[in-house]
Amino acid sequence: MSSGTPGSGGDNNLYYLLVGATCVGGGFYAYRTIKGDKERYQERINEIASRPNKVVPEQPITEAPGEQAAETPQEIAPVTEDAPAETLEVTPIVEVSPEVAPVEQEGPPATPEAEIAPEPVEEPAPEESVGTPDADPLVESEPSVEPSPIEDTEELPAPVVESEPTPVAESLPAETAEPQTTTESAAEPATVAPAEVPAPTPVEFPSHAPYLLIGGGTASFAAARSIRARDPGARVLIITDEPDLPYMRPPLSKELWFSDDPSVVDTLRFKQWNGKERSIYFQPPSFYVSPQDLEKVENGGVAVLTGKKVVHMDVRGNKVTLSDNTEISYDKCLIATGGVPRNLQVIERAGEEVTKRTTLFRKVEDFKALDKVSRDTKSITIIGGGFLGSELACALGRRCKLTADSDLEVIQMFPEKGNMGKVLPEYLSNWTTAKVKSEGVTVITEALVKAVSYKDGKVEIKLKDGRVVKTDHVVAAVGLEPSVELAKSAGLEVDSDFGGFRVNAELQARSNIWVAGDAACFYDIRLGRRRVEHHDHAVVSGRLAGENMTGANKPYWHQSMFWSDLGPDVGYEAIGIVDSSLPTVGVFAKATAKDTPKAATEKSGTGIRSESETEGTASSPVASSTPEPPPVPEQKDNYGKGVIFYLRDKVVVGIILWNVFNRMPVARKIIKDGEEHADLNEVAKLFNIHED
């Protein structure tokens, strides 16, 4: 007997029908889904299995005696169904161990500890390691991978079986220059390149450097020397994108141009003002260890990897990536990337013909190129009235005067009223301009470049006031732009006002990353935040960064100096903020024969004056008893030698020593004291400018 209401049986039947249809539909959907998954899984397995099948004919493995070779790719068993397994596509080496089972990955096999990803190589060559055709470019390993678990470097993408538990330093794939033979073990555990006599490929550089220095300039070399002084067993790797070993830049715009040696472009040796000869390189090649031997030398050393550019920094993983996708890990890192010369936008937009007739002066190759241009052309125009532009103008002008058969015309133009108008007070800038003109240079002041073009075989420069200058070649000396390309990938702060990486008092940007040289924006406890682009700052900041990288924890309190020479007879040294917009007080005296850059270097024994003076101190300078000098206007443009004080709020913040040398420690102490001085004539006596 039904308990439902009349007519409810039809509703129940409809309910059962709907439930049944739902179950059938759900079952059919589950069946189709499972079948599709199986098909996709089988396709995935076939794809993975097919990859090593392509490699096997080209990569036979020679088993080590008494040990089973690594299994062939056909025997690789799948580990996961639909996990993409693509987190460690770094290098295709199979780690040596009889118990290790091969693991499937999307791509060639790789060791979990892989530190360096090789550049893909299409075909085996006798002088290079054999690479797999399917080798992919670098795919970074996960951050969880330890940055420096191994000392050795890895092979090119090819399965390798080692016969000994201790790994052997193997060859790196990055742009092998010439074949070499490694001497790590008596017998190589693996044979590569069938049908040819197997030969070990050269190790280019280590996969890990305890001290990694990015940049090959003065700051890096000073840091390396400082690190080795405090840690004699340190292993230091310098990476530079230039082809040269570390060298000093000042002679490129100074002494090299005054050499009478026709082979100076090749030797890069020059006579200093004191007559002594030296090279622009800090040390000869024998000073350095080869990169491939850095990890093996007993007492460490300094290695230089030339022609390589760091393009990415992984600060969490403590590693850098080079332009060829090679990775190098580090414990501590210094960024000393310096800067690149600025160019004028009107030149950049002028087209190829103008660009290839323009020199941006910075490196050895720029010096060589400009030297050749100066001998092959009729006219050179230098745009810029600062230190570099004025030095090059004087150097080229004097060379023309001293060379009998030279008819080179040297032109210098700049927007200021006189040479170094942004630095020197107006009266001294005018005097300097007259000095440059006396060297045979045509100086065009208050020149604002409006347009540059190439017409009738000449570069035509149009100025805003309507003047037109036609020349064969242009040198743009309009400043330096700090190289901060690594800031984005490394997450480092760039100063918005001065440019460069912002660092603390210890020159740190991170706990294990330091910055030195032109690229560092540091805080000066006396003068505020600054960025300095001079040789002495590179020496001192590099030295301090190296000390702090070894645990010194010293703050940067040093006032760096700079110097400029307009030939062997006129030169000056400066410290602090020297800005012509500040009030200045100048005290001058009559110069003697010993008051020249030439005489100063004869006394100090070096042409790179900052290297000798930075160690000097001035605790209690003694004033001269000579009577007070007359005021500046009474000098009647006879600025033989003197001291120029730059003031801010009645406090000396900058000092220029004009043809006064070896007194920089005194100037440094005056700025450090930060006191007001009622009579700067008395302060000038501390420099003994009135002594004969």
Q: In CATH, what number is assigned to the domain containing residue 363? A: 3.50.50.60
What's the CA gap between 519 and 501, in Å, rounded?
6
Report if residue 101 sits inside a domain. Answer: no
Bridge partners of 211, per DSSP, are 236, 332
What's the CA gap between 117 and 388, in Å, rounded?
41
Report if residue 474 sits inside a domain. Answer: yes
- Secondary structure of residue 247 in the 3-state scheme: strand
Q: Are both 653 and 569 inside the same structural domain?
A: yes
Q: Are both 329 and 379 inside the same structural domain?
A: no
Q: Are both 526 and 642 inside the same structural domain?
A: no
As a dihedral over the C-alpha atoms of residue 179, residue 183, residue 188, residue 190, rounded to 10 degrees, the angle is -40
Report if residue 257 sits inside a domain. Answer: no
Q: Which of 540, 373, 590, 381 is nearest to 476 (CA)?
A: 381
Q: What percent of the chain has pLDDT over 70?
A: 68
Q: Are both 332 and 367 inside the same structural domain?
A: no
Q: Are both 383 and 502 inside the same structural domain?
A: no
pLDDT of residue 135: 39
What's the CA gap between 572 and 582, in Å, rounded?
19
Q: Which residues contact 574 (CB under 8 A, 6 or more apart)?
A: 423, 561, 562, 563, 654, 655, 656, 657
Q: Are both 444 and 356 inside the same structural domain?
A: yes
Bridge partners of 340, per DSSP, are 481
The answer to whether 128 and 106 are in contact (CB under 8 A) is no
Q: Which of 469, 466, 472, 479 is nearest to 443 (CA)?
A: 469
Bridge partners of 641, per DSSP, are 589
pLDDT of residue 595: 62
Output 269-277 pairs: Cβ under 8 A, ≥24 positions apart: 272/601, 272/606, 272/607, 273/565, 273/568, 273/596, 273/597, 273/598, 273/599, 273/600, 273/601, 273/602, 273/607, 274/598, 274/601, 274/602, 274/603, 274/604, 274/605, 274/606, 274/607, 275/602, 276/605, 276/607
Report if residue 175 sits inside a domain. Answer: no
Report if residue 647 sits inside a domain. Answer: yes
What's the CA gap between 407 and 377, in Å, rounded?
9
Report if residue 118 sits inside a domain. Answer: no
Which parts of the chain register pLDDT below 50?
1-5, 52-203, 611-636
What's the CA gap between 117 and 173, in Å, rounded?
8
pLDDT of residue 325: 93
Structure-block tokens of residue 650: 């009645």
Structural domain ending residue among the three candidates 521, 550, 579: 550
- Secondary structure of residue 548 in the 3-state scheme: helix
In Å, how far from its chain's centre is CA 320?
13
Q: Are both 438 and 492 inside the same structural domain?
A: no
Expressed as residue numbers, the domain containing 313 is 208-246+282-338+483-550
Q: What is the DSSP letter of 570?
A: -
CATH of the domain at 578: 3.30.390.30
Report if residue 267 sits inside a domain. Answer: no
Q: Which of 480, 478, 481, 483 is nearest to 220 (CA)?
A: 483
Q: Which residues contact 489 (CB under 8 A, 6 or more apart)?
A: 311, 312, 313, 314
pLDDT of residue 39: 79
Q: Are both 369 and 435 inside the same structural domain?
A: yes
Mind spelling out the 3-state secondary structure of 366-407?
HHHHHHHHHHHCCEEEEECCCHHHHHHHHHHHHHHHHCCCCC
* Percent of the chain as helix, strand, coil, to the nearest 5: 30, 20, 50
Q: How many domains does the chain have?
A: 3
Report if residue 90 sits inside a domain. Answer: no
pLDDT of residue 211: 98
Length of the chain: 692
b or e along 136-172 (b: 16 or more beta carbons within 10 Å of the residue's beta carbon)? Answer: bebebbeeebebbebebbbbbbbbbbbbeeebbbbbb
Structure-block tokens of residue 38: 């199986």
Q: Are both 434 and 309 inside the same structural domain?
A: no
What's the CA gap between 217 and 514, in Å, rounded?
15
What's the CA gap between 63 and 562, in Å, rounded?
63
Q: Are both 380 and 460 inside the same structural domain?
A: yes
b or e along 324-362 (b: 16 or more beta carbons within 10 Å of the residue's beta carbon)? Answer: bbbbbbbebbbbbbbbebebbebbeebeeebbebbbbbb
Q: Are both 565 and 679 inside the same structural domain?
A: yes
Q: Are both 566 and 627 inside the same structural domain?
A: yes
Structural domain ending residue among the three candidates 428, 459, 480: 480
The answer to whether 284 and 267 are in contact (CB under 8 A) is no
Structural domain ending residue among the three candidates 504, 524, 550: 550
